[in-house]
Structure 1
Amino acid sequence: MLSVVVKAGLRTLTLDAPAGGGFVVTETPDGDVYERPVVNIEGQKVALGPNRRDLVPLYHRWENDYSTRRTDDPSEARPVTEDEAFNQYDEWVKSGTERTIQFTIYEVGSWRPIGVTILRDLDWHSRNAVFGIMIGVGDCRGKGYGTEATRLTLDQAFTVMGLHTVLLDALAFNPAGLRAYQKAGFREIGRWREAALMNGRRWDVVFMDCLASEFKSPVLANVYVPDTAAGAMPEG
C-alpha cells in the first residue's frame, strides 16, 4: 500500500513493509528520494542523527569541496581520497565515543543529509569539549540551519552528557558564522591575533565558549523528565 502527502513542495511517500511495519521516504522537487533516517534530536528545521557508513562518499565530497571548507583553517585544506575517508570513519567507529561524538545533520521534511557536527577532545574529568560544524549543502546556508544544529549539539553536550563548557574557534573573516554561534549560545572569550593567513591577509582566530549554566535546552529538557518524584533525594 502506498499513500502520498504533498507538503511544501515535497512528496512524502508512506510504504507498507512486508512485515507490516512500514517506512517513510520523501521525494524532493529535484527528484531525490530519502528515507526518514534514525535521528536522536529533532528541531524545527534540522535533526541530528548518528553518522552512517553509507554516507561516507557524501562526507568525502564535502571534505574535498574547498568552497564548503573555506571558513576552516585554510592551511588544513588538502585532497582526501575516498579510501582515506572510509579509513577515517572505520577508525572513528573502532575508537568509540570516549573522545568524540559526531552527528549527521538532516533537513527536517526532506530528510536529506546536509552537514555534520562534532564534539571532540572530550575531557570527562573537567567535563569539557570542543565543537565543530560543517554545512555541506550550499542551498542550506543562510537559513538558520547551522544555528539550530549548533543549539541541538549543545543540548546533547549539556542535557545528555552533563558537560560544563563547550569551546570553539572560528576565523574572523566569517562574521555570519560568528553571529550564528552567538545566536546558538556561544560568546566570544578572546582572540589569537593575526594567527591565520587567507588570501594574502592575516586574520584573528576567535575563541568562543558556552557554559551549561548559560544554556537553555530547546528539546531534550522535555525528554529527560523524571516519571515521578518518588525516590528523589531531598535537597540540602
Structure 2
Amino acid sequence: MVDHFRDASHPGFLSKPSLRGEQILLRPVTVEDVPSLMPMFLDTETSRLTGSHDDGAPDTGRMLTWYGSRQEQDDRLDLAVVELATGNVVGEAVLHEWDPGNESCNFRICLVPGTRGSGLGTEATRLIVGYGFEELGLYRISLEVYAFNPRARRVYEKVGFVAEGVLRDALLWEGERVDATVMSILAPEWFEHGGRPGNTDHVPV
C-alpha cells in the first residue's frame, strides 16, 4: 500500500515540476513570462475578483525581480499555466504560505483576461493540487474566494474544495464590504476522488 501521508518536513518545494494535462502544461514560471502575465495585473476586473488594491501600473522592474527569483524559493511553488493549443502563457498557479508543522499550504490561481470559462483554470487547479498531495505530501490545501466571484467558487467546488466558513466583510472594495469564503481540500478527500467529487472509480497514484 502506498503511504500517501508521508513526512512533509522536507516536501521538496525547491523542486519545480512540469505537469501536463489535456489542455494545459504547468511549468516553472520565469522572468520571460512577465510580458504574457502583464494583462492580469492591468485588468480592472481581475483586480476586483482578487481584491488587489494596488493603484497604478505595476512596477515592471519589481516584477522582473520577483519572477526571476521564483526558481530559488524552497517554501512555495509558482507555476506558469501554458495553453497547449497555442503555446501561450495564460496565467499562474501557486502553492504558498507553506506551514510545514501542519503539512498545509494556501493555493491561488489567476488567468489572463479572455480565458475565463474555458476549463483551463479547472484543469490547472486539479494538476497543482494533485501534485501538492501526491508528491509534496501535504495534508491540507486552502484558499479564500470573495462573494462576488461565484465562477471561481464553482471551479474550486468541482475540484473538491469544501466551504469551511465565512470571513465577514473581509474586503472593502469601492465602498462595498465583501465577504470571503474559506475553502479547503484534505488529502483523504483527494485520494478518494482525485479532484472529481462523486467519482468512485478514482484509483490513487
With structure 1 as the length reference, what TM-score do the two structures score?
A: 0.70
Equivalences, count: 182
- Conservation of the 8 A alpha-carbon contact between 1:122 and 1:128: yes
- Give the Cα–Cα distance (whole angstroms) in 1 for the partners of residues 148 and 130 of structure 2: 27
Change (3 A) 1:106 1:90: closer
1:185 is the counterpart of 2:160: yes
Q: Secondary structure at the match of 1:154?
A: helix
- Give the Cα–Cα distance (whole angstroms) in 1 for the partners of residues 113 and 62 of structure 2: 22
Counterpart of 2:13? none
Change (3 A) 1:77 1:129: farther
Structure with more strand by fraction:
1
- Give the Cα–Cα distance (whole angstroms) in 2 for the partners of residues 58 and 199 of structure 1: 28
Q: Structure 1 residue aligned with 2:102, among 119, 126, 141?
A: 126
CA RMSD of superposed structures (Å): 2.3
Distance apart, 1:76 and its partner CA: 4.2
Counterpart of 1:233? none
1:167 is the counterpart of 2:142: yes
Bigger Rg, which one? 1
Q: Structure 1 residue aligned with 2:87, among 107, 111, 114?
A: 111
Q: Structure 2 residue aligned with 1:85, among 63, 70, 74?
A: 63
Q: Secondary structure at the match of 1:75?
A: coil
- Give the Cα–Cα distance (whole angstroms) in 2 for the partners of residues 67 and 184 of structure 1: 24
Change (3 A) 1:170 1:78: farther
Q: Structure 2 residue aligned with 1:46, among 9, 24, 27?
A: 24
- Give the Cα–Cα distance (whole angstroms) in 2 for the partners of residues 208 and 119 of structure 1: 14
- Give the Cα–Cα distance (whole angstroms) in 2 for the partners of residues 182 and 119 of structure 1: 18
Q: Could you tell me the percent identity over the aligned residues?
A: 28
Change (3 A) 1:76 1:189: farther
- CA deviations 1:129-183 (Å, max 9, x no partner) are 1001001141x21121111111111011001101000010111100111111110
Structure with more helix by fraction:
2
Distance apart, 1:100 and its partner CA: 1.0
Counterpart of 1:98? 74
Q: Secondary structure at the match of 1:161?
A: coil
